[in-house]
Amino acid sequence: MDSPPIRIVRAPITRSEVAAIAEAGFGDMVKAVVDIDRGILAIGGELHSDEESMLRDDGSSQQSLWGINIYPGESGDDWIEFDSMINVRPAQGNRGREVDDAEIRAAIRRLVDTLVIER
């Protein structure tokens, strides 16, 4: 599988653009890493860790980065999955792959809803 290049999203992109990135990679899903402090995300990598690394090189701090999967063909709560190995952070109180903190999940959802638009 040839993944599209990782892209840092700083301004809104359309759900159809995300669907095209997904189709070029995993089919119905695209991996993304969200920086909840800077309000940006990296999308399109084969591994969350690659996107995390790109954002860190861009100035993000690791404790602000959370890995998610986006399913552009889904809606409601089903289009964002809060699952990634980069989310395992016992020192931050997150012991598993899921994002445990409801406030962080809400911040991730707000950011994705702002950066991935319907048009």
Radius of gyration of the chain (CA): 13
Spatial distance between the Cα atoms of 5 and 2, rounded to a whole number of angstroms: 9
pLDDT at 119: 72
Walk along the chain (119 residues) in steps of 10 and give the mean pLDDT of each run. 80 96 93 98 95 97 97 93 96 94 96 92
Q: Output the pTM of the full model.
A: 0.94
Provide the 8-state DSSP code for 98.
B
